[in-house]
Amino acid sequence: FTNLGDLPVLPQPESFALTAAYNEDSFPNKVNLGQGVYRDNNCQPWVLLSIREVKSNPIPLTTPSNSPISFLTPSQAEQTLHNQQVNHEYLPIPGHAKFLAKARELLFSPQIGSQDNITSIQAVAGTGANHLAAIFCARNLRPKNVFISDPTWDNHHLIWEIAAPNVTRKLYPYYDPSTRGLNFDGMLSELENSAEENDVVILHACAHNPTGIDLMQDQWKKIADVVARKKLFVVFDCAYQGFASGDADADAWAIRYFYTTLFAKSSSPTGPAGMFVCQSLSKNFGLYGERIGALHLVTPPSLPTQGAKAHLVQLVRAEISCPSLFGARLVHTVLDSAELFSKWQDDVKTMAHRIKGVRALLKSELEKLGAQGDWSHIEQQIGMFSFTGLSSAQVRQLRERHHIYMLSNGRMSLSGLNEGNVAYVAQAIKDVL
């Protein structure tokens, strides 16, 4: 038995620690480029217009079993989903069925989303989906290794360490510091040479965190080919659909390609045992604190899926009994209405285009100031982050001298930049180079 007093104090996750330090800082021009959360051009959290509309317009109120019970009037604006008329019953263990069907279509397309070899279950955001996937794999697939990109979202390591302690975590090369680009040959040969049948490989579907570097379509095809030949089990982590390019279909290309080549009716029956897709709706719906997501299990065509689903349901039962309602109601309402869906498509364009805009601004400010080096990678990378190439010492100086907060590996969350502070940040970077 461990004496609880002897337990060592663990470091806080860096992005949360940075936000806490930033909040404490009283310097007027401080800049938070740490946590991956979207901010508008005034550095403020942004509630998507489509979500605002759901919260302020009459929508059908539904019970968890989805039978409409009443409609609100416009005068009850803003209270809609919090209104007492909305009941707060338990959802079924797998989650809000209509939300799941719509979320699946968003990810896979309506045509693939209706196929019966995809089983979906609601999760506590993307993190919860990753966690369920790890436990499920460790218990049922029993892989020897899980291959994780180097670098990656740091929580991949923690999740697999805690949820799947018997699975060895291995890194596959991803980032090449000498080119500030993708080390595709390293990635491919590591999977080719070191992975064994049923090993898990975690792939970032789009807007790779932290590098902002994605595979091109012909590179995805080569990875799918290794996965098929070696019968690897892919866990796609999809946390930024729509956020990367501004187009949700384009950002889901890799997932749909893997489905079509490995799991469609026409695919080889001797392929991989299955594939998970962890879907976060935190960033692309701006619902960070609502913790809404889904986990989709794709199985080879014509295999029964009831057993796998029952095991997922059991894991949810043990962890949270059943998932929460609010986020599922919001997302379902948007995805179920042609008008709101079109507004949401504009919302993701707004976010993606603002981020692309500040990429160009930062690069041009750095060039204008004559900051030493080539800054083209800032504009070439995609998604919420830039892997700047700044060293941890330079990052520390940015914080100590200029009150600019970013991860020590040089990852900058671009959403903290705007027209008002980009010149200040560029000048500070020049100063620490």
Q: Which residues bind ligand PMP (CB under 6 A)?
A: 36, 125-127, 153, 204, 209, 237, 239, 280, 282, 293
Report the nearest approach of ligand PMP to the CB of residue 281 (Å): 7
Report helix, strand or coil for 312. helix
Measured from the CB atom, is 151 or 300 closer to ligand PMP? Answer: 151
Q: How far apart are CA 247 and CA 167, in angstroms?
A: 36
Q: How far apart are CA 180 and CA 313, in angstroms?
A: 42
Report the nearest approach of ligand PMP to the CB of residue 206 (Å): 10
**Amino acid identity of 411?**
R
Report the nearest approach of ligand PMP to the CB of residue 65 (Å): 26
Report the nearest approach of ligand PMP to the CB of residue 412 (Å): 14
Measured from the CB atom, is 271 or 416 closer to ligand PMP? Answer: 416
Measured from the CB atom, is 59 or 129 closer to ligand PMP? Answer: 129
Measured from the CB atom, is 125 or 398 closer to ligand PMP? Answer: 125
Measured from the CB atom, is 352 or 432 closer to ligand PMP? Answer: 352
CA distances from 370 to 80, 360, 410, 428, 431 (A): 53, 15, 20, 12, 11
Q: How far apart are CA 108 and CA 236, in angstroms?
A: 12
* Beta strands 385-387; 292-298: pairing state: unpaired
Dihedral Cα 260, 266, 272, 275, nearest 10 deg: 40
Measured from the CB atom, is 86 or 352 closer to ligand PMP? Answer: 352
- Segment 301-308 long-range contacts (CB within 8 Å, at least 24 positions apart): 301/115, 301/117, 301/263, 301/264, 301/265, 301/267, 301/269, 302/117, 302/265, 303/117, 305/116, 305/117, 305/119, 308/119, 308/140, 308/274
Measured from the CB atom, is 133 or 138 closer to ligand PMP? Answer: 133
Quote the tokens at residue 401: 């001298």
Measured from the CB atom, is 16 or 27 closer to ligand PMP? Answer: 16
Measured from the CB atom, is 102 or 131 closer to ligand PMP? Answer: 131
H/E stretch holding 168 reads strand 168-173
H/E stretch holding 255 reads helix 253-258
Report helix, strand or coil for 296. strand
Report the nearest approach of ligand PMP to the CB of residue 149 (Å): 10
Report the nearest approach of ligand PMP to the CB of residue 138 (Å): 18
Report the nearest approach of ligand PMP to the CB of residue 235 (Å): 11
Report the nearest approach of ligand PMP to the CB of residue 73 (Å): 34
Report the nearest approach of ligand PMP to the CB of residue 301 (Å): 28
Strand partners, 61: 70
Q: How far apart are CA 169 and CA 146, in angstroms?
A: 5
Quote the tokens at residue 40: 């508008």
